[in-house]
Amino acid sequence: MNDKMKNLVVRTISGLGLTVVVLGGILWSQWSLGAVLLLLLVGGVVELYALIEKQGLAPQRALGMMAAVMLFVLNFALVSDDIQVLYGGSKYFVPCVAFFALLIPLMFICELYRKQANPAANIATTILPLFYVALPLSLMLYMPIIGRESWNAWVLIAYVAIVWSNDVFAYLVGIAIGRHRLFERLSPKKSWEGFFGGVAGAVVAGLIAAHLLGDKPLAWVGLALVTVVTAVFGDLAESMFKRAAEVKDSGTLIPGHGGVLDRFDAMLLSAPFVFVYMLCIF
């Protein structure tokens, strides 16, 4: 078996394993969904800090990770029915918010003692994962309940399916007939033909989701279009970080696919836009 075939086998097996873990985590319960997203958050934050450090900056990893995890936990507490019942709803919410709020000014205090050449950039890059990784994954917790009477995991499954359909069809069409470069400076392989192939795949996935969920088809077509446009920028944003760090992949956690950021970059940028779209339309 040659190297290309071995890589394909590894990529296929790890891809299937990742799909089972993600979809299984979403469907099993709110707690398993929270666990899967939290694992992705930790992996994504670690990778982003590594990319930042390769550019000569020195983010405060520990405080940044604590703030990112706390932001996610606060949102999970708002969404989870079990936490509301078992732990008295908002009883602990305000103290947790206060603790989270203190982590940001604490970064400024800690930077005073680090004697780094670029303190402003260090503080900014410490906070960056909160917005680039933790916030989008936190907003995904709300998707199963927006416009619903109860938590429906299949809504989030549908969003994930749209993102992955876009990826698959964009890749296949781009390989087959891609000629016109979409954003050659950051991603030489992406083409306009691949982009429109991804649009088609995402819209079909959206229509299937609307049928299975009993929703209006136009609402899901709109969601698919919002997802595709913003997902492309998600891919490009991650490519921008990797080029600045002069690396091919953000990590090695997922064999054949790279790191968490490599696999979930589209969702990280599209999730906030989809969240707002769902609030307005669903």
User: CA-CA distances (angstroms) from residue 108 to 19, 43, 208, 256?
Assistant: 40, 25, 49, 39
Give pLDDT, residue 223. 97
Half-sphere exposure (Cβ direction) of 43: Cα atoms closer than 13 Å: 20
Residue 137 contacts residue 72 (beta carbons within 8 Å): yes
Residue 86 has pLDDT above 50, yes or no: no
What is the tens place of the pLDDT at every residue in 44-66? 999 999 999 999 999 999 999 99
Please, which pLDDT band fits residue 1 given cuts at 50, 70 and 90?
low
* Confidence (pTM): 0.91
What is the tens place of the pLDDT at every residue in 121-155? 999 999 999 999 999 999 999 999 998 888 899 99
Residue 187 has pLDDT above 90, yes or no: no
Which one of 164-173, 178-187, 202-211 scores highest in mean pLDDT? 202-211
Higher pLDDT, 232 or 96: 232
Instruction: Count other C-beta atoms under 10 Å from residue 127's C-beta.
Output: 19
Q: Which of 109-113, 214-218, 249-253 has the least mean pLDDT?
A: 249-253
The secondary structure of residue 56, as a DSSP letter, is T
**Which pair of tokens denotes residue 29?**
């319960």
Query: Is residue 67 exposed (0-12), middle (13-18) or buried (19+ Cβ within 10 Å)?
Result: buried
Residue 282 has pLDDT above 60, yes or no: yes
Beta strands in 100-209 (DSSP E): 181-183, 187-191
In three-state secondary structure terms, 44 is: helix
